[in-house]
Chains A and B, each alone.
Chain A
């Protein structure tokens, strides 16, 4: 470790000199990650500048955190002090939209909303709808493999990426994959980078396969008196050849949102069939269209993510939905905690919001983890106060692959420059 006591101004001068441009400024409270302000913030405009900056950080033993829109900086384990925040904000173009091929290459700093505004000119979109799409960037969404309700149909970033360019911790620029939708040449480093929480390299640009924008949409909102009806509703719906693009749960009160997107008569027909099924299970369905439909989805997205409080990402097997919800209700009541659940009922990917006494929250998460057999799910703390993060490992068990994950980290970033300690298993 060299000159760790340098002042922010000295660091700014060092980085600017290395890059050959005025890209850095001292960090401020507004740049804080888990309550700690970084030494400096740099906003490079080119791949070469990113490479120079990372090479500098690695050579001088500095730590660096990559920031896109800053919407998910609180995710992951606390990192302690950070020397350099590397912002991708100045690299935000949609490089190429090959609409005839249904693919696009987008720079890491572009927001999802900006990206989709460009793609919509040809009635296409990047079919991802994670929280905060107006601010969340492509780089951040990919680094966290984050997705939203329409994962039911379109999958997560992992399923849509066909190529990537990145800068390694040592400043070397590399690419993987390409611009074609089918390609098995070489290792798929893009999948390795996706969901790696920025601990292996800095994503510069990503090439995705896209989806056409559907001609029509309908959403069926169903209220059930009892959460136990959700599991059978999901199973019945999927067994009846319905092809929803989203199949969401929200509790309390027990509500399900089922979205159908296709040509108009198909969306209408499937929505009506879903409503009939819901009535058969004692639910009260409403079919929504237009502004009402948009509003119900906005409210659903905002419900957990636009509020303060703990969010646990709970992944289970879809067939265990009812039993998990029953356990959760009992566990929260016993501990006198408030809770809410939203998420992908058809996929078993749920988000649990918790409120109340922090040690009791920790106790609930611990009990939840103990309940899940190895390989059959996980409970990862996605967002929490430092107090809760101090009580629990945010990631929980990573399994017996941890040693090889650490080995991959060691090869990519031997000095642990990037996102030190924040990734799964303390990577």
Chain B
């Protein structure tokens, strides 16, 4: 990166908006997936869409790659910088621009934190529905890039269902508005494809969000089970009974113990717990809650706790949301996966994971969004033990294969990023990927916008990407491809 380019960047964002010192750039080396690190050539912290437009325009003219990032809690290396590129850090663009309660809308800059959207409108009786576990520290721009979900997306959907419109800078520096404040903007639904494109199509500079009225009643139940099979069957029975709870979460013995040790939520010592939350009108919640209790009883659930107040409900959710961090108490390191399976396959896949645990000798904790089949197996390992990190990665990858075997997906909410790009040919054919690339080519023909993410490339994956074909060594059982 030459001095002329850096001087131009500094002219755009000002001296306090440019980071070029190698030690300061360390901060931005990775996102939440710390295993992958790369130092950007420079980082900028724009504080307006004009500045973003000027930076992207400059990159476009000089063919310099750029990567946008927010707070960086992502778990797939989606915000991994490019070593020869500019990292555009959106944290200074964190203003709430408009709150429109009568129309249930809010317009924010991308650096606004997820939870701050809810905080802004809760006194008026509204909230923002997508609630990733990182909602305290993740920003809306990142949520848009990743199409973030959360525990409550079973009933309320994902970010894509709650973003009405965006203002975005295209990779050639043009500022466009996709979607709007009203529904059904005429034209192709480019907003629908932009959300979840992991920052590869544009840099979002403004987002209009849909606000949801707080339900009249919320009831949360926790039940213990003697096996994950029994808990999984209870999940199927709830769905089969025609009940769509706001959330159904499952934790196994390993993650229950970790959460107990870390935040003392008062969970029973069991093979599995289910957390089921219903919301809606008071009478509806009462009626359906009785059915959920009956389903749990029928599947020999025990130790039932019904949250009697917000404090108790908060404690249950703290136990669930702290599960990832709490695993640090059990193992020095862990590898987390984000595979998805059809929810009816839950018992089958959990049994296979259990078997893998025995075979590999590594502890595997399971905490997941059971209602929508999104698993988060945590494969524990110790870096100090030679080869264990590699083994953990192989085990984690094998779990993904289980998910794909039953018709599932590589990722439910963490994204493909740099982490799983090489796995994409296991789920999609070359033609599928090429069709997705048509969209990429329309937005970003030079592939400057967050390059080397989502799609497998020879540079990333060490081979020409294409449909998965088993190597003779694999067929002979000599090797596995991960």
Contacts and interface: CB of A to CB of B under 8 A. Distances in A.
Central interface residue in B183, B216, B410, by most chain A CB within 10 Å = B183
B159 to A, nearest CB: 10
B360 interface: no
Given A102-B239, A396-B186, A270 B181 contact: no
B185 A186 contact: no
A273 B306 CA distance: 28
Interface residues of B, number: 92
Given A186-B424, A408-B439, A411-B438, A191 B160 contact: yes
Interface in A211-243: 211-215, 235, 238-239, 241-243
B188 A424 contact: yes
Interface in B172-205: 174-178, 180-190, 192-193, 195-197
A191 B439 CA distance: 12
B217 to A, nearest CB: 8
Central interface residue in A189, A191, A194, by most chain B CB within 10 Å = A191
A416 to B, nearest CB: 15
Given A178-B407, A376-B180, A317 B454 contact: no
A403 B174 contact: yes
Interface string A386-412: 000000000111111111110111111
B236 A100 contact: yes
Contact of A243 (B280, B372, B440): B280
Given A196-B188, A266-B284, A380-B186, A182 B149 contact: yes
B53 interface: no
Contact of B189 (A175, A191, A235): A191
B192 A188 contact: yes
Interface stretch (B63-71, B308-316, B336-344): B336-344
Contact of B427 (A101, A185, A200, A316): A185
A348 interface: yes
B432 A176 contact: yes
A99 B161 CA distance: 23
Interface in B264-319: 280-284, 287-288
Interface string A270-289: 10000000000000000000
B351 interface: no
B342 A98 contact: yes
Interface in A173-223: 173-176, 178-189, 191-192, 194-196, 200, 211-215
Given A176-B432, A180-B341, A408 B442 contact: yes
Contacts of B216: 241
B416 A270 contact: no
A159 B156 CA distance: 10
Nearest to B174: A403
B373 A241 contact: no
A411 B435 CA distance: 9
A411 B104 CA distance: 36
A265 B373 contact: no
Nearest to A264: B287
B435 A174 contact: yes
A402 B398 CA distance: 44
Contacts of B443: 404, 407
Contacts of B189: 145, 158, 191-192, 194-196
Contacts of B197: 187
B435 A182 contact: no
Interface in B411-462: 411-416, 420, 424, 427-429, 431-436, 438-443, 454
Contact of B183 (A178, A212, A348): A348
Given A182-B340, A412-B438, A425 B187 contact: yes
A93 interface: no
Nearest to B374: A182
Given A159-B157, A175-B428, A186-B432, A411 B409 contact: no
B186 A179 contact: no
A262 B283 CA distance: 10
B178 to A, nearest CB: 5
Interface in A341-362: 347-349
B146 interface: yes
A400 B368 CA distance: 41
Contacts of B287: 262-263, 265-266
Interface residues of A, number: 90
Interface string B353-378: 00000000000000001001110000
A196 B410 CA distance: 27
B284 A263 contact: yes
Contact of B412 (A174, A184, A212, A404): A184
A408 B188 contact: yes
Given A172-B435, A174-B432, A243-B281, A101 B342 contact: yes
B408 interface: yes
B436 A187 contact: yes
Contacts of A349: 183-184
B31 to A, nearest CB: 16
A182 to B, nearest CB: 4
A425 B408 CA distance: 37
A20 interface: no
Contacts of A123: 242
Interface string A145-161: 10000000001101100
Contact of A185 (B240, B242, B409): B409
Interface in A127-162: 145, 155-156, 158-159
Nearest to B338: A184
Contacts of B188: 192, 195-196, 200, 401, 405, 408-409, 423-424, 427
B263 to A, nearest CB: 26
A213 B242 contact: yes
A393 to B, nearest CB: 10
B342 A192 contact: no
A316 B181 CA distance: 9
Contacts of A409: 188
Given A145-B184, A269-B283, A404-B442, A184 B193 contact: no
Contacts of A397: 186
B193 A187 contact: yes
A401 B192 contact: no
B187 A401 contact: yes
Contacts of A175: 428-429, 432
Contact of B439 (A173, A187, A270): A187
Nearest to A155: B161
B147 interface: yes
Interface string A315-347: 111111000000000000000000000000001
A212 B340 contact: no
A158 B162 CA distance: 12
Contact of B196 (A187, A402, A411): A187
A206 B123 CA distance: 41
A212 B244 contact: yes
A241 B213 contact: yes
Contacts of A422: none
Interface string B131-153: 00000000000000011010001
A184 B436 contact: no
5 contacts: A182-B372, A187-B436, A188-B195, A375-B177, A396-B186
Interface of B: 100, 102-105, 125, 146-147, 149, 153-154, 157-158, 160-161, 165, 170, 174-178, 180-190, 192-193, 195-197, 213, 215-216, 236, 239-244, 280-284, 287-288, 340-344, 369, 372-374, 407-416, 420, 424, 427-429, 431-436, 438-443, 454
Given A376-B180, A399-B177, 18 more contacts: A100-B240, A101-B344, A123-B242, A159-B157, A178-B409, A182-B340, A185-B427, A188-B160, A188-B195, A243-B280, A265-B287, A313-B184, A316-B182, A349-B183, A377-B182, A397-B186, A399-B187, A400-B177
Closest 4 CB pairs of A and B: A191-B192, A212-B242, A375-B180, A100-B344
